[in-house]
């Protein structure tokens, strides 16, 4: 009894002490852990990347019989046969794998291009084939675009990175890469590929210059290539051949013709708007406006992007937007008129969920600008339109004679954190094997850059694809997005300046001069940020 | 209330405390830490209050802030009213009550990925069943631009935001309804019968008996609902990604864009700290004012 | 009298019909899109009832996305999450509801307040924390993440629930009979309080079943993906969806288990909330 009496007054004090001590300890521990973890995985090195791949191990061979090559992928629900006759002189890509015999477990990430589920079947087959051929253990992970952007951002914070990936906005990632983080410079590898002389466009000597066609691959620091070019992507206008023929109309070639034909064919009260404008996604909106802007002589007047180049004509170090000009005003006015004056484009164009492709498939739009892979979509999702659609090249401006277009492509990256650079190179070479690449191009309607693919009869037989390829090759193509470290912030963000400019004009919430001024201020602020 | 073994309750809550520290306190500390830095390349530079200044002087941030507040007020009040009404309805005795009760929970249990896409489809200008129905009964003559019509707007309030509010209410009211229903069903019958004997009208019964008895439950669920709605990310992001010209941009989406698309982590974490501070002030005021009813 | 009754009945019928229409319409639309032929999905004028309903899309969607695997993954994550969340929150709720100790009130307030942090910002530090302790790309990371949401709600609900469901007399008699505090909890309280615990469990299950964003960051392995991640795979460039009907079919397949679970168990969910709100 006396014990409990003695204990009771003591207990509250002890309890109080324990409580406070426990709370203090918890705070200290959490604070300490937070500090430790917060500082430990920050990359603090500012060295620029110096690692390149040793040129000797980089060669991939597959000697293809000069007559016919049949490749069947049995993992796809349909068997794909591609025949290509390749002139024996021009095409030799040689692969000699000098990697070790240990199975290299490479991670390959890619976002959707073209039809996501078609893509899965084909790429799974190729990855398995690669593993079989080289004895490596490559795995493929498919990420939707949202997750792709998330993962990329986390990688540059020190997060998990794959070995090989297909990405976009290289110009944003390259300057943020170091020797141990981010992308690995690939000058030697890509130069070897260029020397094989199989690219339809001469990437090394093209005028106006390397960063013009492939700004995504260029970065300062003494390196030219941070990614392996793969396919080109330009937009053309997919249109209803049957309706045009019914009305005895030939596809337009100039901006004015486009307006005239639009006026003739549009029927808003019947629910039909003649022209569709891609998607409500910021990248699509920026592209669609840029075509007109560049055709009208915007940018640097030669068709460059909407940035002011530095003294050497390079957009990389640009600090100012170059959109406060007549071409910008005229192009914004053109689109404003298309929507509100002539009712050629639906007012839904300002919605983030706008989808001209589904409008086209439902017959609510008669032509729309899009990359070539919509052809595959239409065939599978709108079989009633089979054979009724074709494509025409983007329209020129009659005065300047320019045609705005883009080569956007999603190149292969190799990450600096990889332990198996040689296996990565082999992997890329395997996927880029001409026969496989041709299969991918035909199945997904991607515009190839390789001469061997573009001149292949199977490929040429596809008149739809021919329009897109011709557009790339007619030489009046201009580069979007710009080769600038802030390209992602300028173009892909739904708070981005160009997207907001176009949307504010088209939704009638700002006049054209106001919109241009806002865009300039916001864009310059982004360009002024340190990289 | 047992007060004997002094260590037992601490042991029981220890896991929850630790997890909560990991999930809440640590990220907050790290976010504060990151908000004082600027990211150049992959190295961090301490820049003091630069990020906070750029956040607080950015008109876009304040606009998004207003949009978020409007969004929260509208969603919470409408889902609260609809939830209360539904609960009152389901409290009545009628045959199919159980089935209806099961059905109304469904919006809350369906995966947001699917729901967002369905609503986007429903809100498309050309394929919208709502517009189609209204056209068939000749109430409207042309398509309605649910997510793009900016012709009528009052500050941060716009038609696209209202469309999103509808989705938020649709997805959020079942929770409120269930909580209120539970509260309503716990009101003892004798009290209501006594009021009937005194010939009180329905409205008087509601106002003087029902409301006070469910007020406590209502308070906590409204508080939680407000916090959840203010921090809501999934529906605005999946449906409009911030919408035309930030008119459907909720703070969470805006911060996400700044961090992951613009690579501006300093700005994003500073904005997040400001956002948390604001909601912290609100919750603190709320707790202080209703301390008794919450914790007595 | 009869007039009042009739009026009440009419109001009930109208109110119920409107409510059901409001709630069910999107699901009806989802279901309708999943069973109509592709030509009608993009067909105008809109068809409200498919002329030739077909189940082909369900077969197609199972071919396109490995639904059984992802359903199993979701089931595993949701189930696992339920067990952990219920254990943690019922322990905490029991302590908060039945014991007055120093940390009681502060911790309750802390629970509400710490709910404030927007999930988006927590993702980055949490991601790195999981990587550093090696739990990245496991389901454990997800479970811990989901506690972020279930802790406040379930603990507060169970706190008031345990206060009222377990009479003090039984508690005290248990202790007198020689049980430790914990076995009083485990053997006496839990069996009586299972509706409330079931309510917390259902909440956690639904959370684990439906969550998308954290899962997309924490899991990189395609074979570990849960159903919402598999659904996001349908969405291609520019946010477009080339397989709308199949996506809707997959959506139906995902929603049905949640609906069934809830239809059976909503009684207990409401019961759990009911008894919890007696004392507020």
In this complex, the residue of A116, A281, A364 whose CB is nearest that of residue C44 is A364
Lowest mean pLDDT segment, chosen from A167-176, B228-237, C75-84: A167-176
pLDDT score of A380 more than 60? yes
Contacts with C, B 56-75, CB within 8 Å: none
Token readout for B203 is 């409205």
Asked if A30 and B26 touch (Cβ cutoff 8 Å), the reply is yes
Q: Which of A397, A428, A435 is nearest to A413 (CA)?
A: A428
In this complex, the residue of C20, C46, C274 whose CB is nearest that of residue B127 is C46
Contacts with B, A 246-275, CB within 8 Å: 271
d(CA A227, CA A256): 39
Asked if C84 and C142 touch (Cβ cutoff 8 Å), the reply is no
Residue-level pLDDT at C273? 64
Same domain, A429 and A395: no
In this complex, the residue of B30, B239, B263 whose CB is nearest that of residue A489 is B263
Token readout for C55 is 């189940």
Asked if A297 and C257 touch (Cβ cutoff 8 Å), the reply is no
Residue-level pLDDT at A17? 61
Same domain, A190 and A301: no
Contacts with C, B 128-167, CB within 8 Å: 129, 132
pLDDT score of A56 more than 50? no
Confidence class for position A4, pLDDT limits 50, 70, 90: very low
Which whole number is the average pLDDT over A339-366? 90
Are B40 and A531 in contact (CB < 8 Å)? yes
Residue-level pLDDT at C62? 84
In a domain, C219, yes or no: yes
Q: Mean pLDDT of residues grouped by 10 in chain B (296 residues)?
A: 64 83 81 77 71 89 93 94 89 79 84 89 86 83 82 84 93 87 78 74 74 76 86 89 86 88 83 89 78 62
Q: Give the chain C residue nearest A161 (alpha carbons).
A: C220
Contacts with C, B 177-216, CB within 8 Å: 178-179, 181-183, 185-186, 214, 216
Residues of chain A with pLDDT > 90, as a percent, come to 18
Same domain, A324 and A430: no
Task: List CB contacts (< 8 A) between A176 and chain B.
Answer: 41-42, 263
Which residues, 6 or more positions from A198, have their beta carbon under 8 angstroms from its beta carbon?
Answer: A90, A91, A93, A450, A451, A452
Beta A447-448 vs A231-232: how paired, if at all? antiparallel
User: How distant is the alpha carbon of residue B115 from its chain centre?
Assistant: 16
Same domain, A504 and A423: no
Q: Give the chain B residue nearest C33 (alpha carbons).
A: B118
Residue tagged 């191009």 (tokens): A441
Same domain, A227 and A240: no
Task: Write the burial class of residue A467 (CB in 10 Å: 0-12 exposed, 13-18 middle, 19+ buried).
Answer: buried
Residue-level pLDDT at B294? 60
With an 8 Å Cβ cutoff, is B118 touching chain C? yes
Are A351 and B246 in contact (CB < 8 Å)? no
Q: For chain A, list the contacting chains (3+ Cβ pairs, <8 Å).
A: B, C
Residue tagged 């592209």 (tokens): A287
In a domain, C207, yes or no: yes
How far CA A180 is from CA of A36, A44, A79, A156, in Å, comes to 21, 11, 42, 10
Task: List CB contacts (< 8 A) between C125 and chain B.
Answer: 26-27, 30-31
Same domain, A449 and A519: no
Which whole number is the average pLDDT over A432-438? 86
Same domain, A375 and A516: yes
User: How distant is the alpha carbon of residue B90 from its chain centre?
Assistant: 23
With an 8 Å Cβ cutoff, is A528 touching chain B? no
pLDDT score of A92 more than 60? no
In a domain, B278, yes or no: yes
pLDDT score of A81 more than 60? no
Are C255 and B15 in contact (CB < 8 Å)? no
Are A37 and C44 in contact (CB < 8 Å)? no
In a domain, C259, yes or no: yes
- Shortest Cα distance from A487 to chain C (angstroms)? 17
In a domain, A480, yes or no: no
Beta A139-142 vs A107-110: how paired, if at all? parallel
Q: Which of A452, A464, A444 is nearest to A80 (CA)?
A: A444
- What angle is formed at CA B175 by the lines to CA B170 and CA B180, rounded to 5 degrees? 120
Residue tagged 């041709």 (tokens): A438
Which residues in A459-514 belong to E strands, given as ranges? Answer: none
In this complex, the residue of A19, A115, A364 whose CB is nearest that of residue C236 is A115
Are A507 and B38 in contact (CB < 8 Å)? no
pLDDT in tens, B49-76: 888 888 899 889 999 999 999 999 999 9
Residues spanned by the domain of A383: 236-402+493-528
In a domain, C31, yes or no: no
Token readout for A478 is 């201009």
Residues spanned by the domain of B249: 32-295
In a domain, A29, yes or no: no
Q: Which residue has the higher pLDDT, C180 or C57?
A: C57
pLDDT in tens, A393-426: 888 888 888 887 766 666 788 898 888 988 899 9
In this complex, the residue of B21, B33, B242 whose CB is nearest that of residue A38 is B33
Q: What is the CATH number of the domain that holds B107?
A: 1.10.3720.10
Full DSSP string of chain B: -B-S-SSHHHHHHHHHHHHHIIIIIHHHHHHHHHHTEEEETTEEEE-TTHHHHHHHT-HHHHHHHHHHHHHHHHHHHHHHHHHHHHHHHHHS--TTHHHHHHHHTHHHHS-HHHHHHHHHHHT-SSS-HHHHHHHHTTS-SS---TTT--SSEETTEEHHHHHHHHHHHHHHHHHHHHHHHHHHHTS-HHHHHHHHHTT--HHHHIIIIIHHHHHHHHHHHHHHHHHHHHT--HHHHHHHTT-GGGTT--HHHHHHIIIIIS--HHHHHHHHHHHHHHHHHHHHHHHHHTHHHHH-
Average pLDDT over all residues of chain C: 81
Sheet containing A139-142: give its strands across: A139-142, A107-110, A164-166, A412-414
Largest CA distance in chain A: 111
- Shortest Cα distance from B62 to chain C (angstroms)? 17
- Shortest Cα distance from C94 to chain A (angstroms)? 19
In a domain, A39, yes or no: no
Cβ–Cβ pairs < 8 A, chains B and C:
272
Same domain, A309 and A440: no
- What angle is formed at CA A132 by the lines to CA A126 and CA A135, rounded to 5 degrees? 125
* Terminal-residue alpha carbon distance, chain C: 36
Residue-level pLDDT at A99? 44
Residue-level pLDDT at A70? 33
- Shortest Cα distance from A174 to chain C (angstroms)? 22
With an 8 Å Cβ cutoff, is B257 touching chain A? yes
Q: What is the CATH number of the domain that holds C168?
A: 1.10.3720.10
- Shortest Cα distance from B99 to chain A (angstroms)? 35
Which whole number is the average pLDDT over A302-325? 77
d(CA A477, CA A475): 5
Confidence class for position C163, pLDDT limits 50, 70, 90: confident
Residues spanned by the domain of C184: 61-277
The b-or-e profile of A428-464 (16+ CB within 10 A means b, else e) is bbbbbbbbbbbbbbbbbbbbbbbbbbbebebbeebeb
Residue-level pLDDT at A90? 32
The b-or-e profile of A279-300 (16+ CB within 10 A means b, else e) is bbbbbbbbbbbbbbbbbbbbbb
In a domain, B164, yes or no: yes
* Tally of domains in chain C: 1
Residue-level pLDDT at A241? 92
In this complex, the residue of C25, C92, C114 whose CB is nearest that of residue B12 is C92
Which residues, 6 or more positions from B108, have their beta carbon under 8 angstroms from its beta carbon?
Answer: B171, B172, B174, B175, C206
Are A16 and C102 in contact (CB < 8 Å)? yes
Asked if A235 and A371 touch (Cβ cutoff 8 Å), the reply is yes
In a domain, A373, yes or no: yes
* Tally of domains in chain A: 2
Task: List CB contacts (< 8 A) between C65 and chain A.
Answer: 117
Q: What is the CATH number of the domain that holds A179?
A: 3.40.190.10
pLDDT score of A9 more than 50? no
In a domain, C81, yes or no: yes
Residue-level pLDDT at A261? 93
How far CA B87 is from CA of B90, B100, B177, B187, B217, in Å, comes to 5, 11, 5, 13, 13
In a domain, B165, yes or no: yes
Residue tagged 């001069």 (tokens): A513
Same domain, A224 and A241: no
* Tally of domains in chain B: 1
Same domain, A121 and A219: yes
pLDDT score of C225 more than 60? yes
In a domain, C1, yes or no: no
Token readout for C204 is 């956690």
Cβ–Cβ pairs < 8 A, chains A and B:
151
Are C222 and A141 in contact (CB < 8 Å)? yes
Q: Which of A7, A114, A88, A8 is nearest to A439 (CA)?
A: A114
In this complex, the residue of B4, B15, B25 whose CB is nearest that of residue C88 is B15
Same domain, A389 and A426: no
pLDDT in tens, A209-267: 454 445 455 555 567 778 888 877 788 899 999 999 999 999 999 999 999 999 999 98
If one counts every other C-beta atom within 10 angstroms of the C-beta of residue B133, the result is 13
With an 8 Å Cβ cutoff, is B126 touching chain C? yes
Determine if the peptide bond prior to A71 is cis (ω within 30°).
no
Are A117 and C221 in contact (CB < 8 Å)? no
Could you tell me the sign of the dihedral formed by the alpha carbons of C131, C133, C134, C136, in that order?
Answer: negative
Same domain, A456 and A429: yes
Sheet containing A273-276: give its strands across: A273-276, A365-370, A236-240, A389-392
Average pLDDT over all residues of chain A: 75
d(CA A144, CA C137): 17
Q: Tell me if residue C48 falls in helix, strand or coil.
A: coil
């Amino acid at each position: 009894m006396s014990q409990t009496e003695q204990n009771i007054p003591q207990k509250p004090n002890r309890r109080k002490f324990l409580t406070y001590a426990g709370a203090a300890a918890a705070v200290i521990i959490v604070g300490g852990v937070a500090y430790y973890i917060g500082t430990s995985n920050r990359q603090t090195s500012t060295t620029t990347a110096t690692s390149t791949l040793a040129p000797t191990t980089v060669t991939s061979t597959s000697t293809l019989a000069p007559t016919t090559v049949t490749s069947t992928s049995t993992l796809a629900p349909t068997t794909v046969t591609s025949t290509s006759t390749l002139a024996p002189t021009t095409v030799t890509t040689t692969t000699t794998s000098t990697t070790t015999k240990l199975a290299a477990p490479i991670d390959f990430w890619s976002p959707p291009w073209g039809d996501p589920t078609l893509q899965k079947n084909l790429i799974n087959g190729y990855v398995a084939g690669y593993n079989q051929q080289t004895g490596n253990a490559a795995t493929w992970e498919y990420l939707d675009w949202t997750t792709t952007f998330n993962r990329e951002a986390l990688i540059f914070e020190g997060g998990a990175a794959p070995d090989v990936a297909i990405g976009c906005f290289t110009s944003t990632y390259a300057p943020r890469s170091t020797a141990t983080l981010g992308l690995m410079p690939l000058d030697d590898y890509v130069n070897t590929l260029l020397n094989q002389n199989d690219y339809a466009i001469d990437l090394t000597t093209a005028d106006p210059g390397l960063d013009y066609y492939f700004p995504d691959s260029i970065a300062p620091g003494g390196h030219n290539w941070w990614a392996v070019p793969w396919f080109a992507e330009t937009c053309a206008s997919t249109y209803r051949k049957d309706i045009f023929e019914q009305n005895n109309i030939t596809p337009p070639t100039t901006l004015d013709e486009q307006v005239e034909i639009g006026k003739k064919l549009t029927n808003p009260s019947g629910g039909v708007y003649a022209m569709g404008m891609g998607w409500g996604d910021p990248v699509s909106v920026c592209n669609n406006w840029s075509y007109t802007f560049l055709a009208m002589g915007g940018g640097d007047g030669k068709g460059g992007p909407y940035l002011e180049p530095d003294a050497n004509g390079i957009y990389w170090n640009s600090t100012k937007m170059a959109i406060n000009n007549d071409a910008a005003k005229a192009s914004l006015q053109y689109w404003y008129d298309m929507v509100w004056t002539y009712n050629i484009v639906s007012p839904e164009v300002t919605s983030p969920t706008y989808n001209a492709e589904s409008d086209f498939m439902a017959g609510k739009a008669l032509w729309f600008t899009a990359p070539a892979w919509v052809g595959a979509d239409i065939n599978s999702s709108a079989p009633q339109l089979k054979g009724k659609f074709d494509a025409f090249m983007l329209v020129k401006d009659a005065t300047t004679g320019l045609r705005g277009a883009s080569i956007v492509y999603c190149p292969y990256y190799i990450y600096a954190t990889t332990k198996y650079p040689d296996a990565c190179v082999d992997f890329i070479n395997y996927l880029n094997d001409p026969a496989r690449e041709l299969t991918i191009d035909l199945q997904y309607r991607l515009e190839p850059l390789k001469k061997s693919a573009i001149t292949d009869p199977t490929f040429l037989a596809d008149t739809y694809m021919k329009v897109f390829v011709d557009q790339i090759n007619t030489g009046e193509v201009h580069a979007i997005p710009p080769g600038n470290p802030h390209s992602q912030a300028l173009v892909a963000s739904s708070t981005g300046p160009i997207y907001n400019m176009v949307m504010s004009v088209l939704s009638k919430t700002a006049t054209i001069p106001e919109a241009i001024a806002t865009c300039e201020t916001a864009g310059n602020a982004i360009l002024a940020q340190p990289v | 209330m047992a007060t004997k073994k002094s260590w037992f309750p601490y042991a029981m809550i220890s896991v929850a405390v630790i997890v909560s520290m990991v999930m809440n306190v640590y990220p907050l500390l790290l976010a504060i830490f990151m908000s004082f830095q600027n990211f150049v390349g992959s190295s961090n530079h301490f820049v003091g209050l630069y990020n906070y200044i750029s956040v607080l002087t950015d008109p876009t941030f304040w606009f998004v802030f207003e949009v978020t507040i409007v969004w929260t007020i509208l969603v919470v009040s409408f889902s609260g009213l609809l939830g209360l009404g539904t609960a009152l309805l389901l409290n009545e005795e009628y045959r199919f009550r159980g089935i209806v009760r099961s059905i109304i929970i469904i919006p809350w249990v369906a995966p947001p990925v699917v729901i967002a896409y369905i609503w986007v489809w429903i809100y498309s200008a050309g394929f919208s069943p709502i517009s189609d129905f209204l056209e068939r009964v000749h109430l409207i003559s042309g398509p309605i631009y649910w997510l793009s019509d900016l012709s009528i707007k009052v500050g941060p309030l716009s038609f696209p935001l209202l469309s999103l509010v509808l989705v938020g209410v649709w997805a959020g009211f079942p929770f409120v309804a269930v909580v209120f229903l539970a509260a309503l069903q716990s009101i003892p019958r004798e009290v209501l019968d006594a009021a009937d004997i005194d010939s009180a009208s329905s409205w008087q019964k509601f106002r003087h008996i029902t409301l006070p008895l469910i007020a406590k439950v209502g308070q906590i669920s409204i508080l939680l609902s407000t916090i959840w709605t203010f921090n809501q990310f999934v529906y605005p992001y999946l449906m409009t990604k911030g919408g035309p010209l930030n008119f459907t941009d909720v703070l969470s989406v805006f911060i996400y864009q700044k961090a992951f698309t613009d690579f501006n982590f300093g700005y994003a974490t500073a904005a997040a700290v400001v956002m948390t501070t604001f909601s912290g002030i609100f919750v603190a005021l709320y707790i202080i004012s209703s301390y008794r009813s919450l914790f007595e | 009298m009869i007039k009042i009754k009739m009026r009440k009945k009419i109001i009930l019928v109208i109110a119920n019909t409107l409510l059901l229409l409001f709630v069910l319409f999107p699901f009806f639309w989802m279901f309708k899109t999943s069973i109509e032929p592709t030509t009608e999905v993009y067909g105008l004028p809109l068809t409200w009832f498919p002329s030739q309903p077909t189940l082909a899309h369900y077969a197609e969607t199972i071919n396109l996305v490995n639904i059984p695997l992802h359903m199993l993954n979701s089931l595993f994550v949701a189930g696992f999450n339920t067990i952990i969340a219920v254990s943690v929150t019922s322990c905490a709720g029991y302590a908060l509801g039945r014991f007055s100790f120093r940390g009681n009130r502060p911790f309750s307030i802390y629970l509400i307040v710490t709910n404030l942090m927007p999930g988006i910002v927590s993702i980055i530090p949490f991601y790195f924390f999981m990587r550093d302790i090696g739990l990245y790309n496991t389901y454990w990371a997800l479970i811990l993440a989901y506690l972020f949401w279930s802790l406040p709600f379930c603990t507060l609900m169970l706190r008031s629930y345990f206060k009222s469901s377990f009479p003090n007399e039984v508690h005290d008699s248990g202790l007198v009979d020689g049980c430790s505090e914990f076995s009083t909890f485990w053997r006496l309280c839990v069996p009586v309080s299972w509706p409330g615990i079931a309510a917390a469990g259902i909440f956690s299950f639904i959370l684990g079943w439906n969550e998308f964003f954290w899962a997309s960051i924490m899991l990189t392995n395609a074979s570990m993906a849960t159903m919402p991640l598999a659904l996001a795979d349908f969405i291609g460039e520019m946010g477009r969806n080339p397989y709308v009907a199949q996506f809707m079919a997959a959506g139906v397949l995902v929603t049905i288990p949640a609906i069934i679970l809830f239809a059976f168990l909503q009684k207990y969910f409401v019961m759990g909330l009911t008894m919890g709100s007696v004392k507020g």
